[in-house]
């Protein structure tokens, strides 16, 4: 943990238009680590990820990425610097083919890179090759989620923000998405993942951050957060089925 | 009553030409609606601007058609870009009423500005081709009409290639389909919107320029066309470009036929009758707005 953090937030306050939603968030992500962000509905998890990528309103505080405060940069600029964000819910171009969606993923890249980068994500997710000319809107929910992750992976980000990637997926598909995230992190990518499948997510992550009512409530190694009685009570339930024992 | 075959063919050809030029207008409307979610009430006036640019430049270029047409496209496109930069870029996605007022405002300024400067008197526009044309048997078409139709066809082919195969055009479809996903892949919706408005305005300039030697040029000409274009775009389903082209062709044909056999009144009214019927029979044509696609 001696290396410079991949991302460092200092007293970040952000929200929408004139309403601040998240307050005074300070956070440091170790390079190549996986951090799970958990919290109740409306706790401000999505708002935090949007603030890091720049698609909502910044109020105050610092967002330092690779030694630079990026809070004034447009999302496209943050993407060019290596931050990628896959929002919650379906986020692709539904009436375009998988091929076109991936080409749009390459939008910020030089033309000569399109082919090799797309080939790389296709080897990572071979399913996409079989759906190459299908409209994205015709894929299953899990396939669309994989497509969306692939759409940003073509930029080879160094910081990956994922908002509920396992939402609405079958347990099998969830396990695949978790495995993919772990695989990506193994290549040195830092990941910050919002999860409602707290149990499954904590099993594959290094660190956990808990948010409540727009503030950071707890932070620590995934294992210790998982064993915290308050967290067990609030998110894990007494009798949760331990199906996704990775 | 015997129907003269040559006459019918001439009506069909004229209808096709007219429909193609309408389609240029309608496609631009659909494009702007798709990308910006704004209904551009100044669209007809942009076309009028193209016609006047053509009318004023032809004498300067020794009546030669192509340089005048090119300038009509460029001038109108630049006006569109400036209009986006100074006004439309300030309108938020959710401010539908403001967008209506702003585009209506521009429409009025252009319409009455043109009346003030050029008077409302219709003017004939002459090109170096005059009334020359081709005759095949009993069918006669002037060069200006043939060229107008051909120019529109080339423009559609180019538009298709742009939207389908270039990142520039793909970006427009992307913003129209999902703004959040557009941000995710690093698009700048403002830049894409500016491109879309500039392109749509350029198409208006092309249609206006090509129509100038075919129809009388007058400040009110945009108004007559724009309501038809709205009707077309609504019949096709907002934001649906292939639909807009198809309905425009059908309308041009229909108008030409009705004009050839019935009173003028029917010609002008028919499109609106069809629009109402279409809305009643196929409301999804109208309400497709949410799941809109451009291209
Ligand atoms: N676009 C928006 N404009 C204004 N307020 C918003 C907007 N999006 C979310 N909010 C508000 O911000 C608060 C936090 O929402 P956020 O989506 O960040 O929560 P979350 O932790 O991601 O919840 P969930 O688990 O339901 O996804 C909520 O009170 C919500 O009403
Ligand atoms: Mg959320």
Ligand 1 close to Cβ of residue A132 (< 6 A): no
Residue with tokens 């009546």: B63
Residue A39 confidence (pLDDT) above 60: yes
Which pLDDT score is estimated for A73?
96
Q: What is the pLDDT of residue B275?
A: 72
Strands A7-16 and A83-86 turn out to be unpaired
| Res A160: pLDDT | 97
Report yes or no on B221 lying in a domain. Answer: yes
Cβ atoms of B34 and B293 closer than 8 Å: yes
Domain range list for chain A: 31-46+74-245
Which chain A residues contact residue B167 at CB under 8 A? 103-104, 107
Interface of B with A in 197-256 (CB under 8 A): none
Spatial distance between the Cα atoms of B161 and A72, rounded to a whole number of angstroms: 36
Q: What CATH number labels A31-46+74-245?
A: 3.40.50.300
CA of A45 to the centre of ligand 1 (A): 8
B109: domain CATH number? 1.10.3470
Residue B47 has pLDDT above 80, yes or no: yes
Contact B175/A at CB under 8 A: no
Buried b vs exposed e over A140-165: b needs ≥16 C-beta within 10 Å? eebbbbbbbbbbbbbbebbbbbbbbb
Residues of chain B with Cβ-Cβ distance to A152 below 8 Å are 184-185
Give CA–CA dist B19/B118, Å, rounded.
Answer: 28
Give residue A48 CA to ligand 1 midpoint distance, Å. 10
Would you say the pTM of this structure is higher than 0.95? no
User: Quick one: closest CA in A to B92, which residue?
Assistant: A17
User: Would you say the CB of residue A89 lies under 6 angstroms from ligand 1?
Assistant: no
A75 CA → ligand 2 middle, Å:
18
Which has more pLDDT, B45 or B13? B45
Of B171, B177, B185, the CB nearest to A105: B185
- In a domain, residue B210? The reply is yes
Q: How far apart are CA B130 and CA B149, in angstroms?
A: 17
Encode pLDDT of B229-284 as tens digits. 887 777 777 667 777 788 788 878 887 888 777 776 676 677 777 777 777 776 66
pLDDT (mean) for B199-206: 97
Cβ contacts of B57-61, under 8 Å, gap ≥ 24: B58/B125, B58/B126, B58/B127, B58/B212, B58/B213
**Residue B132 included in any domain:** no
Q: CA A91 to CA B147: how far, in whole Å?
A: 44
Task: Grade residue B1 by pLDDT with cuts at 50, 70 and 90.
Answer: low
The domain tally of chain B equals 1
A198 lines ligand 1 (CB under 6 A): no
A12, A14, A23, A42, best to mutate for ligand 1 pocket (most atoms within 8 Å of CB): A42
User: What is the b/e burial string over A66-85, where b = at least 16 CB atoms within 10 angstroms of the residue's CB?
Assistant: eeeebbebebbebbeebbbb
Q: Which domain holds residue B10?
A: 5-122+141-281
pLDDT higher than threshold 60 for residue A86 = yes
pLDDT value for B230: 80
- Residue B262's CB is within 10 A of a number of other CB atoms, namely 11
Q: Which of A76, A93, A155 sits opposite B181 (nearest CB)?
A: A93
Confidence of residue B19 (pLDDT cuts 50, 70, 90): confident
pLDDT at B76 over 80: yes
Q: How far apart are CA A240 and CA A201, in angstroms?
A: 14
User: What residues are paired with B136 via a beta bridge?
Assistant: B139
In which band, very low, low, confident or very high, does the pLDDT at B292 lie, cut at 50, 70 and 90?
A: very low
B164 located within any domain: yes
Mean pLDDT of A61-78: 96
Distance in Å, CA A197 to ligand 2 centroid: 13
Give me the torsion for CA of B163, B21, B238, B226, rounded to 10°: 140
Chain A: give the shortest CA distance to residue B188, in Å: 7
In the predicted model, what is the mean pLDDT of residues B144-150? 92
Cβ pair A108:B188 closer than 8 A:
no
Chain mean pLDDT for chain B: 87
Nearest to B181 among A79, A92, A108 (CB): A92
Q: What integer is the mean pLDDT of B55-80? A: 96
Virtual torsion, Cα A92, A93, A96, A102, nearest 10 deg: -50
Nearest-by-Cβ selection for B186 from A79, A91, A94: A79
Residue B160 CA to residue A31 CA, distance in Å, equals 45
Cα A157 versus chain centre, distance: 11
Note whether residue B286 is domain-resident. Answer: no
């Amino acid at each position: 943990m001696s290396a410079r953090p991949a991302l460092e937030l200092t007293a970040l306050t952000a929200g929408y238009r004139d309403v601040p939603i998240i307050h005074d968030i300070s956070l440091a992500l170790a390079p190549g680590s996986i951090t799970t962000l958990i919290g109740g509905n409306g706790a401000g998890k999505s708002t935090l990820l949007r603030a890091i990528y720049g698609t909502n309103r910044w109020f105050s505080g610092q967002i330092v990425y690779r030694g630079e405060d990026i809070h004034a940069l447009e999302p496209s600029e943050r993407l060019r610097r290596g931050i990628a964000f896959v929002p919650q819910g379906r986020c692709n171009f539904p009436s375009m083919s998988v091929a076109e969606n991936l080409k749009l993923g390459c939008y910020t890249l030089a033309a000569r890179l399109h082919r090799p980068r797309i080939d790389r994500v296709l080897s990572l997710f071979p399913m996409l090759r079989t759906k190459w000319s299908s409209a994205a809107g015709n894929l299953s929910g899990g396939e669309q989620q994989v497509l969306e992750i692939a759409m940003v992976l073509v930029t080879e980000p160094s910081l990956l923000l994922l908002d509920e990637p396992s939402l609405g997926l079958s347990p099998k598909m969830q396990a695949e998405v978790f495995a993919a995230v772990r695989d990506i992190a193994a290549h040195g990518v830092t990941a910050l993942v919002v999860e409602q499948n707290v149990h499954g997510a904590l099993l594959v992550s290094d660190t956990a951050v808990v948010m409540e009512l727009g503030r950071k409530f707890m932070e620590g190694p995934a294992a210790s957060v998982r064993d915290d009685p308050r967290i067990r009570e609030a998110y894990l339930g007494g009798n949760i089925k331990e199906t996704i024992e990775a | 009553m015997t129907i003269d075959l040559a006459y019918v063919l001439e009506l069909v050809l004229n209808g096709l030409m007219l429909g193609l030029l309408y389609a240029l207008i309608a496609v631009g409307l659909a494009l702007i609606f798709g990308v910006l979610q704004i209904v551009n009430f100044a669209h007809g006036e942009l076309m009028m601007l193209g016609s006047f640019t053509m009318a004023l430049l032809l004498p300067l270029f020794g009546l030669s058609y192509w340089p005048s047409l090119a300038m009509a496209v460029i001038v109108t496109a630049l006006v569109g870009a400036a209009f986006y930069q100074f006004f439309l870029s300030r309108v938020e996605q959710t401010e539908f009423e403001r967008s209506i007022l702003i585009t209506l405002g521009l429409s009025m300024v252009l319409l009455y500005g043109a009346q003030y400067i050029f008077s409302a008197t219709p003017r004939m526009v002459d090109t170096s081709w005059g009334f020359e044309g081709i005759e095949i048997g009993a069918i006669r078409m002037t060069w200006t009409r043939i060229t107008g139709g051909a120019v529109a066809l080339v423009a559609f082919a180019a538009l298709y290639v742009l939207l389908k195969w270039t990142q520039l055009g793909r970006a427009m479809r992307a913003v129209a389909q999902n703004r959040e996903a557009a941000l995710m892949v690093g698009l700048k919706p403002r830049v894409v919107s500016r491109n879309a408005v500039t392109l749509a305005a350029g198409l208006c300039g092309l249609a206006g320029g090509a129509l100038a030697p075919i129809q009388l040029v007058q400040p009110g000409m945009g108004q007559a066309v724009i309501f038809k274009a709205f009707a077309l775009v609504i019949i096709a389903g907002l934001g649906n470009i292939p639909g807009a082209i198809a309905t425009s062709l059908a309308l041009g044909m229909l108008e030409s036929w009705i004009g050839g056999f019935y009173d003028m009144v029917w010609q002008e009214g028919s499109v609106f009758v069809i629009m109402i019927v279409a809305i009643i029979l196929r409301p999804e044509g109208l309400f497709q707005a949410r799941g809109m696609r451009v291209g």
